[in-house]
Amino acid sequence: MNSIELTGLRADLPIGVMAALGCLRVCERTEDFRGSKLGWTPAGGTFSAVLYPLSERSAAELVTALMADVKRAAERMELTWRKKLKGLTPQEYREAASAAIVQSRETADWFAAFGCETATDREGIVEPTPLDMTGGPQEFLAGAAELAERLSTTPKARRAKTPEQAYQEALFGPWQYSDDQHSLGWDPMTIKLGAFTNQAPTKMANAGVMAAVWLAFESLPLFPVFSLDGVRGFTRERRAWTFHWPIWKKPLGLDAIGSFLSLAPEEMAKRGAEAVYRSRRFYLNKYYAAFRTPELAPTTAAGD
């Protein structure tokens, strides 16, 4: 079976898993990679992602396909209908979601992942997906659109990273964390806590891996919001969300992965997961949230 090992996408980082899932979703939109599957292989004490195209394809062809896809982001309704998810009333969300359903199944899946009209806070405002960890001046959707634009154009600065180099780094590593890109709370490696920095975190430059952040954003439709406490891949205790994800060796397609993510952590292990990781979402302050350093969930052995 043809395979492309994505050595940059690690199983022990939320952003690594999300980027692998996002890569698979983008592949489903491209002619050359449609029908691809995803698996994981042991690598350096954890696992790295492996893409399994239906026909013989190269790593260079994968990068080319991803670069071509991101250039169409400016035309996508899910990125242009609003600058941020926070502050939506149920009526506003309902109207936008209804328009999305008419447009396409792909667009409808995005809106199912953004929130749910019945999942509201005490003020009656729609609670966005727990994967939206932005706050203050950050705008979740506008920021994603800006990132897509950066990955769609050749930089003017002579030594600036090209989109091709950005995708190469994200997919195959090593991650240099040299991009001026916020990781949106998805990468515990980039968390800046004021008690452990020599200046205020707000004054420090961002250090991320921009193509990894974009691919992670592309994974959102795999995590639909069903209710105030029901989001695929998450468990909730009061305000605290915990993200669980399984790691598997056998190549799986998008539908099978969606079903796998829907299981409780204990069931993931029983259904053949090589490992089950978890990462708790916490607030850096009253505005911003992030994932904590992941750990193996207690029930990780297949067949437990």
Query: Tell me, what amino acid is at 268?
Result: M
Q: Which residue has the higher pLDDT, 213 or 299?
A: 213
Q: How does pLDDT run across 80-107, given as a tens digit for each residue?
A: 999 999 999 999 999 999 999 999 999 9
* Residue 302 pLDDT class (50, 70, 90 cuts): very low
What strand order describes the sheet that includes 4-10? 4-10, 46-52, 37-43
* Residue 303 pLDDT class (50, 70, 90 cuts): very low
pLDDT number for residue 270: 93
Tell me the two tokens of residue 298. Answer: 């207690």
- Give residues with Cβ within 8 angstroms of 230, minimum separation 6: none
Q: Which residue has the higher pLDDT, 109 or 298?
A: 109
pLDDT number for residue 203: 58
Residue 279 CA to residue 212 CA, distance in Å, equals 18
Q: How does pLDDT run across 171-193, given as a tens digit for each residue?
A: 999 999 999 999 999 999 998 65
pLDDT number for residue 113: 98
